[in-house]
Structure 1
Amino acid sequence: MSIRVLVVDDSALIREVLSRTLVREGDISVVGTAADPIEAREKIRTLDPDVVTLDIEMPNMNGLAFLDKLMRLRPTPVVMVSTLTRKGASETLLALELGAVDFVAKPGADLSGGIEAFAAALRDKVRAAARSDVRGRAERVEVPKVAVRTAAAPEGAVIAIGASTGGVEAIRTVLSGMPADCPPILIAQHMPAGFTARFAARLDELSTITVLEAEDRLALKAGHAYVARGDYHLRVERSSGQLKCRLSHDDLASGHRPSVDVLFESVARTVGPLAVGAILTGMGRDGARGLKLMRDAGAYTVGQSQASALVYGMPRVAFEEGAVVEQAPVEAIAARLANALSRLKSAA
């Protein structure tokens, strides 16, 4: 059966473009369109779509207000179609906090960024949204977060985290549990250019630790987290006796840039048994190979459990390939990482 989509946008042209884009490969059908949230509310009730694509700036009701009501009253997978501006990035991240599964950035008026790349990304994200568990997430009773008093580790230790669809909230949950004495944290989240700086700033607002967008050759510091820049791979290297971020714009790896595999492989090679790693919610298999290399190098590794993952794709593949030492609910992952670091410190 095809994935049934409702397209919500105040522009008739955009509704037409999105509709034609979505149905191109035959596995997605557009069952309706709506020009504003009021019309969308009625069509969701009568058409019961599998996925909704939603713009933010619309008449009669802001898209964020509509999303908030929708996720509380009738949880439905939503993919935001966002503008690539500072304001658009902030609103998009808020939409993900409110429960949207993912987002895709609209190409510019001059079609910069490529209409074909936009079309492929939109279809992929709608497919991932259709497989997501937003209703289960809304009904699930949250596991109490385990208090983490310390994550002190030996000199040279590193935490590596990778995620994709649903990762914005999962990463926030993990980082908000990490105390200020934690070792450096490196993060690869599938996200396009233009959004990662705001993502890092938002995480910084919500965390005890300092979170920033990674810069090339930036020395790693304890109590800091470094988010891979959109459209760049993030690696760790040892130079002049220091661990540093390295950014590169080389080919896609495992279908992505930034790639979780690229980050994890560099951590396995450079940090070895002093690393700990976590693979979180996401579609596909990016990260499984790199996490297996980390485990083989002596690192502690954890995968997000199926019950707590919005999309149990990347963690499932990592588990099936023997890349994770254990699986855990996302609320418990900070404590698992801290315990592993404590064991490293005791052994040292």
Structure 2
Amino acid sequence: MAAFKEETIISTLLGSCVAVAIHDPTTHIGGLNHYLLPDGLPNESLNTRYGSFAIPALIDECVRLGANRSRLQAKIYGGANVIAVSSLGDGIGKRNIEVAETILKQMNIPIIEKNVAGEHARTIKLNTANFDILHNSSGGGAGETSKQPVDVSGFKPLAIAKNVKVLVVDDSATVRTLFTNIFTKSGLEVVGAAADAYQARELILNKKPDVMTLDIEMPKMSGVMFLEKIMKHHPIPVVMVSSLASTGDAAMKALELGAVEFVHKPSQFDPAVLKDLASMLVDKVRAAASVNVLKKLKEAPPVSDIRPTLSSSPVVKRAAELKVVVVGGNAGSADSLERFIKGLAADTPPVVVSCSTVANFVTAYIGKLKTASKVTPVVAKDGEFLRMGHVYFIPAEHHGRIAPGPQGPVLKLAKGAPVASQLPSSNVLFQSAAASFNKGVFAVLLGGFGSDGVDGLTDVQKLGGATVVQHPDEAQFPYGPQKAIELGVADEVLKADALSGYLMQYRNQNLY
């Protein structure tokens, strides 16, 4: 939502969301909002993602700037039936349009123009001085239905690799057969299976796979050594796998060399375990296969942060003591997480991290952090009281939940199936923190493939906590952050190096 006295161009991108433009033709004061839903639940904190709040707030802001309420005019845009924008339900665009019409009628503000509904996303640009609006649709001709998912976060469209060709490299014939069956049933093409690095090299040259799964422990040449050679001479996206718990240093080294992700192979082939493995493995391989596509999209010149970060003060929603900081992310987020943690002050409120990638080699990762951090990183334990100045990492194969205790937040660990294809899941952590501490939660979602953490951010925002996402142009996998921005649940969009400073500013404003 924005309104100005001076002539200003305000732009937004709309899918099922609606934008209401307001203007006073005498003072030439005008403004524009953009909301996702018609209204919220009674216990939710009011914010501009809801039309019932965003429209009166925009009108009040124009009046505060000097507009005459009796002269105000309105225009309405958006509310399309856009395919695959979100899972919020059918007819949301229509309901967003209806709430605008109802509120403006109640406030006796005439609607002088409407360009709503349809099947396509659209970009609009408002000139606040003369109330002119430039309008462009992202769809085809009249009557055409969009078949592609539409990104309305304002960043580049997300590309997902299709027709993925996979090479499986593992010294176990059982695992090679298992992975081949999993990939084939999921629509991926397995172009070969190799028992060692030398067989794999020939297959890479002859079959040209899009992505490779690579075992860490293999005869003749270790997976990490082979990865290093491959990245120098024939770089392709690689997902590392291992059934050994002692491979933490090797897994971390593999990510540093350029591997995209790390997956634990099950030591037992239980049907329930295999079902969970299949879901996670396919998602991670598809993510890896899209890395090259994403790099091409990121070849544009770097952009600045959406808002000033360290030099400006964050908006404090409610005066409340900050009880706990929760951080989520998965593929490609290990480096950003390290930069965030190394920037934290010794008196930071307790931080709990749910990152499925780091969880697989958490002991080695913590060892790396300890040399340059003011906070104390530790592997989380069930029932542990969370202390200031500590960062708790949820270990592999566990979900972490935060509960209130007699001395403050307590962490509960439990084994379970993946949620949103992640174990541990950011959704599980975020939602438990929001339910337990409401306005006392600060949630950070780093990059990752898939939507894990987005539902959790939604709950944190609903209950008055702060929500921050990593800047999509910086994240290797911007899917989670972009989805959060699209749904209006990201209060701030920051690069990794700005996160710790912003957190401390937020904490200090809540204290004083």
Per the TM superposition, whether the score is higher than 0.5 is: yes
Percent identity over the alignment is: 34
Give the corresponding residue for 1:136: 295
Give the corresponding residue for 1:150: none
Normalised to the residue count of structure 1, the TM-score between the two structures is 0.82
For 2:269, which of 93, 111, 114 is the aligned residue?
111
- Cα distance, 1:293–1:222 mapped onto 2, change above 3 Å: same
Within a 5 Å distance, the mapping from 1:11-50 to structure 2 comes to 11-25=172-186, 27-50=187-210
Give the corresponding residue for 2:115: none
Does the CA-based 8 Å contact 2:217-2:242 persist in structure 1? no
The aligned amino acid for 1:6 is: L
Give the corresponding residue for 1:91: 250
- Cα distance, 1:71–1:275 mapped onto 2, change above 3 Å: farther
Segments of 5+ residues of structure 1 without an aligned counterpart are: 148-153
For 2:170, which of 9, 16, 25 is the aligned residue?
9
- For residues 98 and 257 of structure 1, the distance between their equivalents in structure 2, rounded to whole angstroms, comes to 24
- Cα distance, 1:122–1:249 mapped onto 2, change above 3 Å: closer
The aligned amino acid for 1:278 is: V
The aligned amino acid for 2:494 is: A
Q: For residue 139 of structure 1, report the CA deviation from its aligned partner.
A: 7.6
- For residues 95 and 18 of structure 1, the distance between their equivalents in structure 2, rounded to whole angstroms, comes to 20
Segments of 5+ residues of structure 2 without an aligned counterpart are: 1-161, 311-319
Within a 5 Å distance, the mapping from 1:292-331 to structure 2 comes to 292-331=458-497
Within a 5 Å distance, the mapping from 1:1-348 to structure 2 comes to 1-25=162-186, 27-86=187-246, 88-108=247-267, 110-111=268-269, 114-133=273-292, 136=295, 156-190=322-356, 195-205=361-371, 207-249=373-415, 253-345=419-511, 348=512
The aligned amino acid for 1:223 is: G
Does the CA-based 8 Å contact 1:274-1:344 persist in structure 2? no
- For residues 118 and 289 of structure 1, the distance between their equivalents in structure 2, rounded to whole angstroms, comes to 22
Of the two structures, which has the highest relative contact order with CA contacts closer than 8 Å and spacing of 6 or more?
1
After superposing the two structures, state which structure 1 stretch, 271-280 or 9-18, moved more: 9-18
- Cα distance, 1:324–1:29 mapped onto 2, change above 3 Å: same
Q: For residue 162 of structure 1, report the CA deviation from its aligned partner.
A: 0.7
Bigger Cα Rg: 2
After superposing the two structures, state which structure 1 stretch, 260-269 or 133-142, moved more: 133-142
- For residues 253 and 31 of structure 1, the distance between their equivalents in structure 2, rounded to whole angstroms, comes to 30
Deviation string 1:139-193 (CA, Å, 9 cap, x unpaired) is 899999x99xxxxxx9643221011222333322221222323221111112598
- For residues 335 and 281 of structure 2, the distance between their equivalents in structure 1, rounded to whole angstroms, comes to 20
After superposing the two structures, state which structure 1 stretch, 92-101 or 49-58, moved more: 92-101
Number of equivalences? 337
After superposing the two structures, state which structure 1 stretch, 157-166 or 252-261, moved more: 252-261
Does the CA-based 8 Å contact 2:322-2:507 persist in structure 1? no
Kindly indicate which of the two structures has a greater share of residues assigned to helix: 1
RMSD (CA atoms): 3.4
Q: For residue 32 of structure 1, report the CA deviation from its aligned partner.
A: 2.7
- For residues 118 and 22 of structure 1, the distance between their equivalents in structure 2, rounded to whole angstroms, comes to 11
Does the CA-based 8 Å contact 1:219-1:245 persist in structure 2? yes
Q: For residue 52 of structure 1, report the CA deviation from its aligned partner.
A: 0.9
Does the CA-based 8 Å contact 1:56-1:62 persist in structure 2? yes
The aligned amino acid for 1:125 is: K
Aligned residue for 1:306, secondary structure, equals: coil
Deviation string 1:257-304 (CA, Å, 9 cap, x unpaired) is 432122112222333333322101122222112212222333332112
- Cα distance, 1:134–1:209 mapped onto 2, change above 3 Å: farther
Does the CA-based 8 Å contact 1:303-1:324 persist in structure 2? yes
- Cα distance, 1:227–1:134 mapped onto 2, change above 3 Å: farther
Does the CA-based 8 Å contact 1:8-1:35 persist in structure 2? yes
- Cα distance, 1:275–1:21 mapped onto 2, change above 3 Å: closer
After superposing the two structures, state which structure 1 stretch, 192-201 or 117-126, moved more: 192-201
The aligned amino acid for 1:239 is: G
Deviation string 1:222-266 (CA, Å, 9 cap, x unpaired) is 211011233332222222142221223466544544321221122
Does the CA-based 8 Å contact 1:55-1:80 persist in structure 2? yes
Does the CA-based 8 Å contact 1:82-1:104 persist in structure 2? yes
Q: For residue 79 of structure 1, report the CA deviation from its aligned partner.
A: 0.7
- Cα distance, 1:132–1:218 mapped onto 2, change above 3 Å: same
After superposing the two structures, state which structure 1 stretch, 13-22 or 237-246, moved more: 13-22
Q: For residue 313 of structure 1, report the CA deviation from its aligned partner.
A: 1.7
Q: For residue 309 of structure 1, report the CA deviation from its aligned partner.
A: 1.6
